[in-house]
Structure 1
Amino acid sequence: MKNFTIIMIAFLAISLINNTNTNAQGCVAIRHFSTCSGNPNASMQTGKGVTILSTNYRYFKSFRHFRGTHEEPDRLANNSEVINKSHSLDINLNYGLSNKAYLTATLPFVYNDRSSLYEHGRTERHNSYSKGLGDARVGMGFWLKDVTSAHSGNVSLNLGLKLPTGNYNAMSTFYNVGENGSPEERPVDQSIQPGDGGWALTTGFLAFKQIGTRLSFYGSGFYMFNPKETNGTRTYRETLSPILQNEAIMAATDQYSIAAGFNYSFFKPSLSLGLGGRFEGIPVKDVIGGDQGFRRPGMVGSVEPSLMYMKDRVMLSVSVPIALYRNRPQSVTDLETEIATGNPRNGDAAFADYLINVGLSFNLTKRKNDLIDNQ
């Protein structure tokens, strides 16, 4: 029974990582997925032959504008802020090849609503929309220790692919921008495009360490290498100003995330509370491939309280990451424009104050030798 309790605490520690999704924080086009293992809270249970079905729902509203680390409160005061409302649902499947190796697959679905003035002739506020399948992911993870015996700590290394299954040229109606101020169908902003049009390599890790009977430490991180430079989707930013010609086409970008924290378990350990931090973002330059095209680089540092409840083979988790640090640094195209004009330039981006993540996991395999039934 003692080993069973330790395994469950470790599992719940890993479940925190379910909510370390790299989340699109508004105008910064961060795709909403965690590591290449899809929904890694299930990974601790994925012993040989075990199948885990899990989902994760996420919502945020971004409206607070930053240029660098400086907030621009006048955007709210004069009603010129851009408001993104984003809903996403990931459906994940994990399968244990052995007591160390496991396969994962994720199908994401999104619904986005964007309200702005500047995209509609700067005279009226209107909304644009996008919805549908996002960029799917497949991957493989490998625990360094056998999950049936690594009760006090373990580390998993992950490798995967992001597939260009999401629409990266989603269209919506924009007002006061066509001939004689007529409406016109145009691609929606990069931040609410369901996909980015590129194949990408994802690398990552998961880790936990039991500290006491009820307390544990967790950590996770990933980096997505996106070699595609631009995806051919027009931004229409050059119609706002001739100096933005270098931002006429959308970029396909790298992204990254790292998270760590502590988890405390109650009630044998059906209920668990966690507190951690995360740092995530879109870099100014990609590791592989070029850096041209329009992107909004950005980074967010958050504190993340969480609550998890487990009953038999079902687990429910809720977390609310709260942003403490937001930064929209100067992009490559910003610098090009600054050099060309001789005037300082650093674009802005809208960020959310917080996110809401809700995860639900089901162990579809019921066998005596499953990890959760061990001991």
Structure 2
Amino acid sequence: MKNLLLKLIYVTTIFTFATFAKANAQGCVAIRSTGGLCTMDEHPDSITSNGSWLLNSNNRYFRSYKHFVGTKEQTQRIEQGTNVINHSYTQDLTLTRIFNNRWSFAVDLPILDNSRSSLYEHGGKERLQTHSFGLGDVRLTAYAWLLNPAKARRGNIQVGLGIKLPTGNYNYQDYFYHTAANDGKTLGPVDQSIQLGDGGTGITTEINTYYNFTHSFGLYGGFYYLISPREQNGVSSARGSVPSTKAVANGSDVMSVPDQVMIRGGASYGVGKFDFSAGARYECLPVHDLVGGSNGFRRPGYIISAEPGVTYRVKSFSIYAFVPVALKRDRTQSVPDKITTNLTGVYTQGDAAFADYAINVGITFRIK
């Protein structure tokens, strides 16, 4: 019965650690990794009183190149070759200690490797690249099951509370070729979308849940919110140049430290050692933060994606692949956009580049 129950729970909950905690939005809307593992991967009844460990390695990649203002795609950017192209790769390593059938604690270390090519950042005549590589923002999270695992056989609710540390370099610099001085090179902070961190200490909140109707079919869902009290991190958005008068006037001359949100849910079905899921995913970088100010340079927006996935389970480890495919992309009006609109009387809204899809693949080990 215990093994059957574990298999049943795996059908719906294994998807949560693989994709719920990966909140890297697909493009210039700079939502970074929020952690690699949710402890819903293991049902409480399967954990002994002595506890166990979970080690998750998740790899995420996307290529963003399509520009949007609001929900309208700027197709001319690709035709003219003026679009920005971002390549983003994140390796998340997460170690979780499961103390008992109610409590667990996770530490997530993200390693990022990003590149960004454009014309406008390098004088407008030649497409050149900037890069960033290194440790991102580390996250520490405590999890607890709300319902008694001995009684909650079909479903349960898990809550998580944690802290995101500003360990990632939020002033990573590379060379831009937009001036005649220094052989045309200017050293400056790379674009916000490929910075390794945001420079703020944040509070993370999570709610994860599942419900199983049969031994093979069930539903899952999750909610994640990062509260970032710091308004700005002091890093210039001018890429080594002098900020424009417009940027200074609307506050976008310094990078913002934004909140971030993710909601996901769907259904899953188990066949043998395989678990298949189909769900929806909402990732958002809000215009306004819950705590603190919201000014500074940011590209707010959201992505709604269809999220198919498959997991293969072999004894103490699982291999998975998930590919959220964008259905709707919306670059919303930022606070600096609104300030400029008020100052000039002309409606202003910036753009952002998005990807068509992202790829998540990884493996999880359970160590007793």
TM-score bucket (shorter structure): over 0.9
1:289 & 1:30 partners in 2: Cα distance? 18
1:28 & 1:208 partners in 2: Cα distance? 29
Q: How does 1:187-202 map to 2 (within 5 A)?
A: 187-202=189-204
Residues 283, 43 of structure 1: alpha-carbon distance in 2 compared, 3 angstrom cutoff: farther
Q: How far has the Cα of 1:148 moved from its partner?
A: 5.8
Residues 320, 23 of structure 1: alpha-carbon distance in 2 compared, 3 angstrom cutoff: same
Q: Which amino acid aligns with 1:298?
A: G
Q: How far has the Cα of 1:12 moved from its partner?
A: 3.4
Task: Name the counterpart of 2:223.
Answer: 221
Residues 342, 180 of structure 1: alpha-carbon distance in 2 compared, 3 angstrom cutoff: farther
2:19 & 2:145 partners in 1: Cα distance? 20
Equivalent residues of 1:244, 1:337 under 8 A apart: no
Equivalent residues of 2:301, 2:332 under 8 A apart: yes
2:43 & 2:269 partners in 1: Cα distance? 17
Task: Name the counterpart of 1:27.
Answer: 28
Equivalent residues of 1:15, 1:40 under 8 A apart: no
1:78 to 68, 71, 80: 80
Of 288-297 and 10-19, the range deviating more from structure 2: 10-19
Residues 214, 12 of structure 1: alpha-carbon distance in 2 compared, 3 angstrom cutoff: closer
Q: How far has the Cα of 1:121 moved from its partner?
A: 1.1
Give the secondary structure class of the aligned counterpart of 1:14.
Answer: helix
Q: TM-score when scaled to structure 1?
A: 0.92
Q: CA RMSD in A?
A: 1.7
2:23 & 2:9 partners in 1: Cα distance? 22
Of 19-28 and 70-79, the range deviating more from structure 2: 19-28
Task: Name the counterpart of 1:121.
Answer: 123
Equivalent residues of 1:99, 1:148 under 8 A apart: no
Task: Name the counterpart of 1:15.
Answer: 14
2:308 & 2:351 partners in 1: Cα distance? 28
Residues 25-47 of structure 1 deviation map (CA, whole Å, 9 limit, x = unaligned)? 2110101225xx84445343683
Task: Name the counterpart of 2:301.
Answer: 298
Please state if 1:351 is matched with 2:351. no
Q: TM-score when scaled to structure 2?
A: 0.94
Give the secondary structure class of the aligned counterpart of 1:333.
Answer: helix
Residues 331-363 of structure 1 deviation map (CA, whole Å, 9 limit, x = unaligned)? 000011111122221000000100000121001
1:331 to 330, 334, 340: 334
Task: Name the counterpart of 1:62.
Answer: 64
Equivalences, count:
360
Residues 180-228 of structure 1 deviation map (CA, whole Å, 9 limit, x = unaligned)? 8711111000011010111000111111100112101000111110000
Task: Name the counterpart of 1:169.
Answer: 171
Task: Name the counterpart of 1:50.
Answer: 52
Q: Percent identity?
A: 39
Task: Name the counterpart of 2:286.
Answer: 283
Of 3-12 and 104-113, the range deviating more from structure 2: 3-12
Give the secondary structure class of the aligned counterpart of 1:155.
Answer: strand
Q: How does 1:235-314 map to 2 (within 5 A)?
A: 235-236=237-238, 239=242, 241-245=244-248, 246-267=251-272, 270-314=273-317
1:313 & 1:164 partners in 2: Cα distance? 33
1:70 & 1:180 partners in 2: Cα distance? 39
Equivalent residues of 1:26, 1:61 under 8 A apart: yes
1:263 & 1:54 partners in 2: Cα distance? 21
Could you list the runs of 4 or more consecutive aligned residues of structure 1 that deviate by over 2 angstroms after TM superposition?
A: 3-7, 37-48, 145-151, 176-181, 237-242
Task: Name the counterpart of 1:372.
Answer: none
1:137 to 132, 136, 139: 139
2:179 & 2:323 partners in 1: Cα distance? 38
Q: Which amino acid aligns with 2:214?
A: G
